[in-house]
Every structure is written in structure tokens, then in C-alpha cells.
């Protein structure tokens, strides 16, 4: 008989579960890095944007504003380092799509274009990032690594990224 109130409380909690489109922001930190004979303890901090339907992750995007003064810039190849001079901002994104019919990488790329960014390939940086020990912890092996370059100053501003997917709340993060 004492279990009935707990059972009713549990059922009420389940009934109030929100099963709709939700968004969240946060950050992901990868600690330290290695390049050839060098190692460092500096953090690589990504801003995180996530889109859910109930408890199902539809799309996840990690965004890092690349810095030529960071030790992580060693992970860029010589041709990739040219983006530091060609771009007002160089962003590295690590993105996951669970179902391309809901939210796809193409949808994300279109939203980045609306923010004034063109996509660029960062294969060398991606290979270092994918083999970082924290990639296993954050389960980013199924994520796609891309670069985005804001080639010229624009009226859109550079301090934040705003993403608007249909049927989801507008999401914005400061870079």
C-alpha cells in the first residue's frame, strides 16, 4: 500500500514528459593536444548547439572559432593555415545528423551561409581532431568536421552564430 503513492507520482512524472522539439546550448572541452614531438595542456573549447525531438537528438553542432595563436593551429596543414589570412573568421564545426530527412548537414550549411560563412575543407585538422582521446569520450567519430570561412567583413556581425531550423526555436551562440 505504501508503494501506491510512489507509483502514482512516477506515472504523473511520465505523463508530464515533454515530447516536442527542444533546443539546448552548452560547450564541449577537449583538453590538451599533441603535434609531432610537442604536447600542450590548453583546452580546445567548442560552443555546442543541439536540436532534439523529445529525447532523440536530431542534430548536434560543435563550433570552434579557430585562433592562429592557439597551439591547436599546428593541426592545420599549410594550405589550411592560409584561411587565417583569407578569412575574417575561421570556424571549425563538428556536426552530427541522426536523420537527414529531419535536419541535415546541408540544412546546417545553408544556415551558416545566412550567417555569412562559406564552407571550406579542413581534412588535416579533422584527422587530428578525430584521433584526439576526448573524441572517444564525446563519441564524435560519427560527426562530420567542416570549416567555415567568413571571407570579408559584413553587416551581419561576427560575434555570434544564429541557426533557425523549421519547427525549432531560433538558437544563437556567441563565438
**What's the pLDDT at 96?**
96
Q: What is the dihedral of CA 148, 151, 157, 163, to 10 degrees?
A: -30
pLDDT at 16: 46
**What was the pLDDT predicted at 133?**
85
| Residue 145 CB contacts under 8 Å (≥ 6 apart), including other chains | 92, 93, 94, 122, 125, 126, 129, 130
Rounded Cα distance between 130 and 139, Å, is 10
User: Taking the complete model, does pTM exceed 0.75, yes or no?
Assistant: yes
Q: What average pLDDT does range 107-125 have in this prediction?
A: 96
Q: How many degrees, rounded to 5, is the angle at CA 124 between CA 147 and CA 40?
A: 100
Question: Mind listing the pLDDT tens digit for each residue in 43-92?
Answer: 999 999 999 999 899 999 999 999 999 999 999 999 999 999 999 999 99
Query: Would you list the domain boundaries of the chain?
Result: 22-153+161-174
- pLDDT confidence of residue 37: 95
pLDDT of residue 14: 53
Question: Using one digit for the tens of pLDDT, what is the confidence trace for 91-107?
Answer: 999 999 999 999 999 99
State pLDDT tens for residues 3-27.
666 555 555 555 445 558 999 999 9
Q: What is the mean pLDDT of residues 111-133?
A: 94
Give the tens place of pLDDT for each residue, 123-158: 999 999 999 887 777 677 789 999 999 977 665 556
Quote the CA–CA distance of 158 and 175 in Å, as a whole number. 8
Residue 166 has pLDDT above 80, yes or no: yes
Amino acid at each position: 500500500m505504501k508503494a501506491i503513492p510512489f507509483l502514482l507520482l512516477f506515472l504523473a512524472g511520465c505523463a508530464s514528459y515533454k515530447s516536442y522539439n527542444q533546443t539546448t546550448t552548452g560547450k564541449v572541452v577537449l583538453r590538451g593536444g599533441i603535434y609531432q614531438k610537442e604536447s600542450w595542456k590548453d583546452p580546445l573549447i567548442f560552443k555546442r548547439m543541439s536540436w532534439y525531438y523529445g529525447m532523440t537528438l536530431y542534430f548536434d553542432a560543435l563550433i570552434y572559432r579557430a585562433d592562429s595563436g592557439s597551439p591547436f593551429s599546428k593541426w592545420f596543414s599549410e594550405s589550411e593555415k592560409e584561411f587565417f589570412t583569407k578569412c575574417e573568421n575561421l570556424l571549425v564545426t563538428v556536426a552530427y545528423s541522426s536523420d537527414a530527412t529531419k535536419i541535415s548537414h546541408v540544412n546546417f550549411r545553408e544556415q551558416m551561409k545566412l550567417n555569412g560563412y562559406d564552407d571550406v575543407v579542413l581534412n588535416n585538422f579533422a584527422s587530428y581532431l578525430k584521433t584526439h582521446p576526448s573524441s572517444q569520450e564525446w563519441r564524435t567519430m560519427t560527426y562530420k568536421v567542416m570549416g567555415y570561412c567568413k571571407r570579408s567583413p559584413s553587416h551581419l556581425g561576427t560575434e555570434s552564430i544564429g541557426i533557425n531550423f523549421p519547427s525549432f526555436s531560433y538558437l544563437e551562440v556567441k563565438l
